Amino acid sequence: MKLMPLCIVLLFPVLVLAQSPVFYQISFDNKEHHEARVAIEFTGVSEQVLQVRMSRSSPGRYALHEFAKNVYDVKAVDSRDRNLAIERPNPHQWNISGHDGTVKVSYTIFGDRCDGTYLAIDNTHAHLNMPATFMWARGQTERPIEITFAQPEGWQIATQLEPTPKAATFRAPNLQYFLDSPTEIGPFQLRQWQIADNQTVRLALHHDGAKSETDAYADLVKQVVKEEIAIFGQAPAFDSATYTFICDYLPHVSGDGMEHRNSTICTSTRSLKEHAVRNLGTISHEFFHAWNVERIRPRTLEPFDFEKANMSGELWFAEGFTTYYGWLVMKRAQIISIDKFAESLGRNLNAVLNRPGREVFSPVEMSMRAPFVDAGVSNDPVNTTNIYISYYPFGAAIGLALDLTLRQRFQNISLDDFMRSVWQKHGVNEAPYSNADLRAILAEVSDSATFADDFFDRFVFGHELAEYESLLNAAGFLLRPAKGDSAWLGSARMKFNENKVTLQSSTMVGSPLYEAGLDRQDVILDLDGEAISNEDELKRYLRGKKPEQEVQIKFETNGIEKTARMTLQQNPQLEVLPVEQAGSQLTAAQTAFRENWLNSRAGIDGEHPRRHCPKCKRSYAFQFEYCKFDGKKLELTAKVE
C-alpha cells in the first residue's frame, strides 16, 4: 500500500494563482552517495539575463553558510532544449542568457548534514532545508512555486507546502514561503491531534524506536503545545490550520532545532528511550517560536534576506525569552521536576553571571553579533571567551528577572501578561516590532513608564545584572556557589599530554591564569614544582589549595619559559536549588509565589507517560530521568509500555 504524503493545505490569493509558477523537481537516484538532482523551469522570463542564485543564509540562522559550495554539474537549456550560455559573476550566481523566454536549469546537489540548516540525503531519508537545496532567480521571487518530490517506496512526505492533485507535488505562494518550508521525505511515524479553532498539530517522527515510544512522546508534545497556547491565550492562525513537527532522532544526524512559520525541524542523536525529555526541551523552545519570532517578528528581520547575513538587535527577546519559556513550560506541564527546573536556571545564570563579556557588549549588542557566532565559521582565533555571551542565556536571564520582578512589584502582573500584550500588538496582525516597541509595551503592562525605562536602560541597553539572589528567594530558590570554597585557577579548555597542560582556548579576564599572563596555546609545565599529567592530577592539586592562596606556576609561551606567582580564586560556579533541598522550609509566601509562577496554566491531561520515584515521590518522564533529591541519583527502571 502506498503511503499518502503528509502535507498542509495553504490558501493562495487569487492574484498569485493567476501567475505561472516556477516548476521544481528533485530526485534521489544516487542517494547512497548523498546526491540529489534538481530541475527548475522558469517560463515567461522577460529578463535578457536570468540571474540564478543559491542562498547564502537560511531562516532562523544569522551567519553566512555559502550553500553554493555543494552545487555542481549545472546545465541550462531553453524551451527547445538548446544549450544556453552560463556565466559566473560570483560564487553564488549563474547568469543565463540567450533564452527564448523559458529557462530550464538542472544541477546536482550534495548534502550529508541532517540538522536545521543543511541538506541530508542518504538511504534512510531525504532531509531538505530549502535554502541549502534549491536555486532561485532574481526577478522571479513573487511567483508561485510548484515542486514535485521523488518518493521512494515506503517513504512519506512531511512539509508545510500545499498539496496539489498531482502525486508528490506541492505549492508555495512565493519564494519566501518556499525557502521557509523544510521537507522530510522518509519512513517516519506520524501522529496528529486537534487543537482549538479546528487546527491540527502533526508529529512526523523519524527514529529507530518503537511505535509505543512515539505514542508516549506525542502525549508529552501535546502537553507542551497546550501549555504554550495557554500563555498567549490562543494558538496562531496557521496558514493551513496545521502545524508540523519534523523530528529526526537518529545516531547519524546533527543535533539542532529550527523554527519555521508553520513547522519546525528538531534533530538529535539522542534516542527517545533514554533522552525523551531532553529532546522535548527543543520541541518546547521551537514551538514557542510559532508566536515569538515567526509572527512577533523583529523589524530588522523583515523580510529575511537570503543573499546576506541578517543582523538584529532583538534576539535577546526573540531567542532569549523563548529559551526562558522553553524550560518554564516543561515545568508547568509537569514534565520536569522542581529540581530539574532549578538546574536549568543554574546553568543559564552561570552562562551570564560568570562571563566578562557583559562589560563589553549589552544584550542588544550581543544580539547584533549573531552573524559571527550563529554557526559562523572563522579561521583566525577570536576572543569570544572575554567579549561574548550568547543572546540565548543572556535573554533568558533577562526574561527570568523581568518575570520575577513584575510578580513582586506589581499586583497580578507577570511576564505572561507582557507576552500576551506583545502578541496582541505585534503578533496577531504581524506588525514587526523594535526594541522601542517592547519598552513601550512594558510601560503599558506595568502602568509605569519609569519602571520600563529603568529596566531597559539597565538590563537591555546597559550592562547591569538583576539581583537574582533576592528575586529567586521570593519563590523559594537559593542561588549560591556550587563548589563551596574550592580553589580555582580558570576555566580554559586544556589538553593534557606528556606531563604538560596546553591551554586550547583564551583565558578568561580576571581569572588566575589570565592575571598570571597565560593565554591560548601556552603550556603549563608545573604548579609549585609539581608536573600535571592529567585532569585528575589537576583536580587533586587544587583540592589541596584554598582560595586566595598564592602558588607558583611555570609555563611556556611562544617557546619562552616563564615563572609567575598566581593567586587562586574561589570557584565561581553557581547553582540554583529549591530551599527545601538545602534543608530549609518553604514559607507560605514562597509557596504561593512558586505555585503562581510554576503551576500549569492549561491543566494536565491525566497521567501522561511519567514514572514516580518511590524515594522522593516526584514525577519524571520516561525511564531514564534521574531524581536528584538529596543530591542522589536514582534510576527509575519502569519501562515505557
- Domain of 118, CATH number, reads 2.60.40.3650
- The total number of structural domains that make up the chain: 3
Q: Which pLDDT value is given to residue 273? A: 86
> Is residue 448 included in any domain, yes or no?
yes
Same domain, 383 and 527: no
User: In the listed set 447, 481, 515, which residue is the last one of a domain according to the structure?
Assistant: 481
- Cis peptide before 381, with omega less than 30 degrees from 0? no
User: In the listed set 445, 466, 481, which residue is the last one of a domain according to the structure?
Assistant: 481
Per the CB < 8 A criterion, the answer to whether 2 and 10 are in contact is no
Q: b/e map of 223-233 (b: 16 or more CB within 10 Å)? A: bbbbbbbbbbe
- State the maximum Cα–Cα separation within the chain, in Å, rounded to a whole number: 83
Per the CB < 8 A criterion, the answer to whether 446 and 411 are in contact is no
Across residues 574-582, what is the average pLDDT?
A: 95
Q: What is the pLDDT of residues 191-226, one digit of tens each?
A: 999 999 999 999 999 999 999 999 999 999 999 999
> Is residue 602 included in any domain, yes or no?
no
> Is residue 115 included in any domain, yes or no?
yes
CA dihedral of 252, 258, 264, 268, whole degrees rounded to 10: 30
Q: What is the pLDDT of residues 484-526, one digit of tens each?
A: 999 999 999 999 988 889 999 999 999 999 999 999 999 999 9
User: In the listed set 132, 157, 187, which residue is the last one of a domain according to the structure?
Assistant: 187
Name the band, by pLDDT with cuts 50, 70 and 90, for residue 375: confident
User: What is the residue-wise DSSP string for 143-154?
Assistant: S-EEEEE---TT
Same domain, 382 and 518: no
Q: Would you report the helix, strand and coil content of the chain in percent, each value rounded to 5? A: 35, 25, 40
Q: What is the pLDDT of residues 129-165, one digit of tens each?
A: 999 999 999 999 999 999 999 999 999 999 999 999 9
> Is residue 440 included in any domain, yes or no?
yes
> Is residue 198 included in any domain, yes or no?
no
Same domain, 160 and 16: yes
> Is residue 621 included in any domain, yes or no?
no
Residues contacting residue 121 through CB under 8 Å, at least 6 positions apart: 28, 31, 34, 35, 36, 111, 112, 127
> Is residue 500 included in any domain, yes or no?
yes
Same domain, 506 and 549: yes
State CA 377 to chain mean position distance.
18
Same domain, 150 and 17: yes
Per the CB < 8 A criterion, the answer to whether 84 and 76 are in contact is yes
Domain range holding 125? Answer: 1-187
Across residues 245-258, what is the average pLDDT?
A: 97
Same domain, 401 and 534: no
Same domain, 465 and 385: yes
Hey, what's the cell of 271?
A: 534516542
User: What is the residue-wise DSSP string for 353-379?
Assistant: HT-GGGGT--HHHHHHTHHHHSS---S
How far apart (Å, rounded) are the C-alpha atoms in residues 60 and 54?
A: 17
How far apart (Å, rounded) are the C-alpha atoms in residues 605 and 512?
A: 52
Same domain, 178 and 124: yes
Per the CB < 8 A criterion, the answer to whether 419 and 231 are in contact is yes
Residues contacting residue 286 through CB under 8 Å, at least 6 positions apart: 245, 257, 258, 259, 264, 265, 266
Across residues 428-437, what is the average pLDDT?
A: 98
Same domain, 320 and 359: yes
Residues contacting residue 543 through CB under 8 Å, at least 6 positions apart: 486, 487
Same domain, 534 and 420: no
Query: Which of 213, 284, 228, 341 has the alpha carbon at shortest distance from 620?
Result: 341
Same domain, 27 and 93: yes
SS3 185: strand
Same domain, 543 and 468: no
